[in-house]
Each structure stands twice: as C-alpha cells, then as structure tokens.
C-alpha cells in the first residue's frame, strides 16, 4: 500500500508547483500516516448556531443554520459563489441520434457563460440512452482531459483549450491530439451507465478556469473581476468555486433539454472535482444527489484529523483552488469555524454519497467516513435515515441510507465498482419518483 506523498509521489502536485508562483519548495510539509499520531479534536456542532441557538427543527436549519454554514465556507474556504450570469446562452445542440453504434443520442452544446462569443464558453457533451421513454435522469461530472477523453467515439469534438501536458494521453504543447481520444474511458463507463437508464453529461473543467496559478488572469476570472479594482479579497472565489459555478451552468442547460429529467440529476466528481461536486451541490440545490469520489482534503475529509493531506500541503501546491483566507488556517485547523462534515450537511436532506479507496491514504479514507458520519445528525433532524453505520464499513461493503459511503479496494481512481454503487444509490432514491 503506497500512500500518495507530497510532492514526490504526487505528480499532479509537482506539476502545479512548477506553474505556481508559490515559493520554491525547500522541504515538503510533514505528512502524517500514523493513526496513533492523530491527536484528538472536537468538531464544530453542525446543529449549533453561531449565537448558541440549538437547531431542533427543519425551519431553523433552513432559515438560519444552513445559510450560516454556507457563508462560513464562502468566507473561509472556497470563496464567494458569483451569481448566475444574466445572459447565459446555449448554441443549438449538435445531435447524433444514433451514436455509439445506435445505443445513444449524443448531444454537444456550447454554453456561452456570459452570452458573448468572445468570452469563455464550455462545451457540454451529453449521451442519452437511445430507447429512453420520457425525460431521463442523469449523472453529470466535469472531466480532467476534455470530453474526447471520456470515450473513443470519434464524433466527440476534440477540446482545443489549454491542457496539462501528458505524453501517455497524447497532450502535446498543452493541446489535445487525436491520440487523446478515450484515454480516460476507464473512468467513464458510458455504455454501462446508459444500460442502467441514465444519461451522462460532462464538460472539461479547463473550459471554465485553468488548473494552474496564473493570478486569476484566465477562464471566467477576468469577467468576474471586471467590475473590481483588481485586488483579491480574502473571500474571492478560487478555481473550485469557478468549476462548481460551471456545473450550475451545465444544469441551466439540462433544465431546457426535453430528453433530460432535470429533477433527477446527480453531480459526481473525482478528487479535486469531487471537492467541486460537493461545493456545487452545497450552492445549487437543483443537484438532487451529490457524489464525492476520493475527494480528500478540501472535499469530504475532515481538516481536524491530521492524516494525509492537510491545509499546509494543499494551499501550497494549489494556491488557486481556494479563497485567500483559507491559507491563513495552515496548522490552525482547530480554529476554523467549520469542518467538512458541515459541507456534507449542506446537501441535506438530499441524498449524498462519499466514496474512498483503500490505498488513497493521501485523501484519508477514515476522515472521509467520519465526516459523512458527523453529517448524520443533520440528516436525522430533517427526518431522514442519515448514514446507517456506527463503524467504518469493511472494504467493498457499501452502506447506504440517505448518506451513502463505501471504501473499495485499490487506488485513487474512479472504477466500475464506484459507478455501480452510485447507480444503485440513485435507483434506490429515485425509483419511486420516476
């Protein structure tokens, strides 16, 4: 079992350090992988308001504590979520009614965030089961290497935006090539998802904001900052907020698509995009199910558990992901007025699923489970069954109530096993509504 380490065994972190303006790393911050060295901590009570009022009913949660928690995450971790754009515009979908050998309807839609053609836009790829009857429930998630990377389907547009170089994936001079088609198909079992009656939608996260520190000079940031004086406020949005905002724009489109059942859309994300899925689900309650796959630090993992990646690592390697205030909490986790169980609780009472991988110690599987568990009181107070587990379950033994959790064997990745569990979870929560 080889834990991902910072930065040597963590090539992505290394890559971004090179692109980042953070000071050159002298010695990496220490990383604890010894359970016996995790010191005790007290989590903030998600059902206790800042003024000491106890939340004992849904109305107080909805009207007082939930907005308070959302504000805490906006102020101290991810930055403030910008309002939906006024003029979002969708190009007419380009449709292949018989894609994937006749198994799917493929749609590609360019979403102009701000209505203007010269400003950033995002290309959404949607596959709908060919023989669907009526509007179809869907999974949506951002991808790391362009829509063309999720399947070898030659009809998918090759993304032309900046992408991190990857020889194995055919990304050369920061641009995708024909060789890049389908390189990430193992994480997107499209036919498997379609066969279960779900549509699948995805977009490249780099269409929204680049995943390197360039002082917020590209993607949606320049447009957001147009009205400001150029200085970055302590709660200015970072890239995770930008990507989550992009997911909401995809949702804006999906709500207009007659083939999609927009009331049954699950947002799923892996790793940094799992952090993004959680933040998207917290801000945008149109996402009916929220799924975090191996999201780790800044995602489902508890900050107060000093195991694997911590704020001291993440804010140094990825200074562009969070708001400036977050880095002031390096080694001061216990002073944060929030922890990640409160982020998970923001999904309540919607179903939420947290998944870990056994070898993914950098993401701290136990911390991810404990965060899901600590969100349980909010789910129960709202009248749902929360997470029906007192102990962390065994490997490959999923538990599911309105909160679901599993730890599977293997490494940091998205596998068919993970997808099968997410579809089981969606079936269970949605079948009576469909």
When the beta carbons of 1 and 83 are compared against ligand GCU, the nearer one is 1
- Of residues 12 and 88, the one with the C-beta less far from ligand GCU: 12
CB 290 within 8 A of CB 353: yes
Does residue 186 carry a catalytic annotation?
no
Residue pair 369/406 in contact (Cβ under 8 Å)? The answer is no
117 included as an active-site residue: no
Number of residues that bind ligand GCU (CB under 6 A): 12
> How many beta carbons lie within 10 A of that of residue 349, not counting itself?
16
Among 12, 22, 25, 395, binds ligand GCU (CB under 6 A): 12
Q: How far is the CB of 76 from ligand GCU (least distance, A)?
A: 17
Site string for ligand GCU, 342-371 (x = CB under 6 A): --------------------x---------
Pairing of strands 94-99, 104-112: antiparallel
If 0-12 CB within 10 Å is exposed, 13-18 middle and 19+ buried, where does residue 214 land? middle
CB 371 within 8 A of CB 302: yes
Q: Which of 123, 252, 261, 309 binds ligand GCU (CB under 6 A)?
A: 309
Q: Which residues contact 376 (CB under 8 A, 6 or more apart)?
A: 386, 387, 403
Given the complex with ligand GCU, which of 132 and 313 has the nearer CB atom? Answer: 313
The residues in 274-303 that bind ligand GCU, with binding defined as CB under 6 A, are 296-297
Q: State the nearest-atom distance from the C-beta of 296 to ligand GCU, in Å.
A: 5
Please say which residue, 4 or 406, places its beta carbon nearer to ligand GCU.
4
Select from 310, 302, 362 the least CA-distant residue to 11: 362
Q: Is 268 near ligand GCU (CB under 6 A)?
A: no
- Among 9-17, 19-27, 44-52, 330-338, the segment contacting ligand GCU (CB under 6 A): 9-17
Query: Phi/psi of residue 55, each to 5°?
Result: -90, 110
Helical spans, DSSP H, in 144-217: 190-195
Of the CA atoms within 13 Å of residue 252, those in its CB half-sphere come to: 22
The footprint of ligand GCU on residues 136-195 (CB under 6 A) is none
Structure tokens at 40: 């005790």
* Binding span for ligand GCU by CB under 6 A among 10-18, 103-111, 281-289, 423-431: 10-18
| Stretch binding ligand GCU (CB under 6 A), from 7-15, 119-127, 198-206, 220-228 | 7-15
Q: What mask, x for binding ligand GCU by CB under 6 A, covers residues 317 to 346?
A: x-----------------------------
Pairing assessment for the beta strands 89-90 and 104-112 based on DSSP bridges: antiparallel
Query: Which tokens go with 6?
Result: 């910072």
Interface with ligand GCU (CB under 6 A), residue from 277, 314, 338, 342: 314
Cα 375 from Cα 105, distance rounded (Å): 38
Residue closer to ligand GCU by CB (options 13, 288) is 13
Beta strand ranges found along 113-259 (DSSP E): 121-129, 136-143, 199-204
Question: What does the binding site for ligand GCU look like in residue numbers (CB under 6 A)?
Answer: 4, 10, 12-13, 271-272, 296-297, 309, 314, 317, 362
Question: What are the catalytic residues?
Answer: 271, 412
């Amino acid at each position: 079992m080889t834990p991902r380490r910072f930065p040597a065994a963590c090539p992505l972190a290394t890559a971004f350090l090179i692109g980042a303006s953070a000071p050159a790393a002298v010695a990496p911050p220490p990383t604890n992988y010894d359970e016996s060295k995790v010191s005790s901590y007290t989590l903030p009570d998600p059902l206790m308001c800042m003024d000491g009022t106890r939340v004992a009913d849904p109305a107080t949660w909805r009207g007082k504590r939930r907005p308070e928690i959302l504000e805490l995450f906006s102020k101290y971790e991810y930055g403030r979520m910008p309002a939906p754009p006024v003029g979002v515009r969708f190009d007419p979908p380009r449709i292949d009614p018989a894609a994937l050998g006749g198994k799917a309807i493929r749609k590609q839609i360019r979403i102009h965030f701000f209505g203007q053609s010269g400003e950033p836009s995002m290309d959404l790829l949607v596959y709908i089961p060919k023989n669907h009857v009526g509007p179809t429930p869907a999974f949506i998630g951002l991808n790391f290497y362009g829509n063309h990377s999720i399947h070898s389907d030659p009809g998918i547009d090759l993304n032309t935006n900046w992408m991190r170089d990857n020889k194995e994936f055919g990304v050369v001079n920061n641009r995708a090539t024909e060789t890049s088609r389908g390189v990430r198909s193992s994480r997107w079992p499209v036919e498997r998802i379609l066969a279960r009656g779900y549509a699948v939608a995805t977009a490249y996260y780099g269409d929204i904001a680049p995943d390197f520190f360039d002082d917020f000079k590209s993607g949606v940031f320049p447009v957001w900052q147009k009205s400001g004086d150029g200085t970055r406020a302590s709660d200015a949005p970072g890239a995770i907020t930008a990507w989550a905002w992009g997911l909401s724009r995809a949702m804006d489109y999906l709500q207009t698509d007659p083939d999609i059942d927009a009331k049954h859309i699950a947002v799923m994300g892996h790793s940094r995009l799992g952090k993004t899925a959680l933040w998207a689900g917290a801000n945008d309650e149109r996402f009916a199910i929220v799924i975090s796959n191996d999201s780790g630090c800044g995602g489902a993992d508890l900050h107060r558990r000093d195991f694997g990646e911590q704020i001291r690592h993440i804010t140094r390697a990825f200074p562009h992901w969070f708001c400036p205030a977050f880095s002031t909490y390096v080694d001061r986790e216990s002073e944060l007025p929030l922890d990640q169980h409160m982020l998970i609780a923001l999904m309540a009472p919607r179903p939420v699923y947290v998944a870990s991988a056994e070898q993914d110690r950098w993401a701290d599987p136990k911390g991810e489970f404990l965060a899901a568990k600590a969100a349980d009181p909010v789910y129960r107070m709202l009248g749902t069954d929360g997470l029906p587990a007192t102990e962390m379950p065994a490997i490959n033994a999923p538990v599911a109530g309105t909160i679901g959790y599993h730890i599977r064997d293997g490494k940091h990745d998205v596998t068919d096993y993970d997808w099968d569990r997410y579809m089981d979870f969606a079936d269970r929560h949605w079948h009576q509504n469909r």
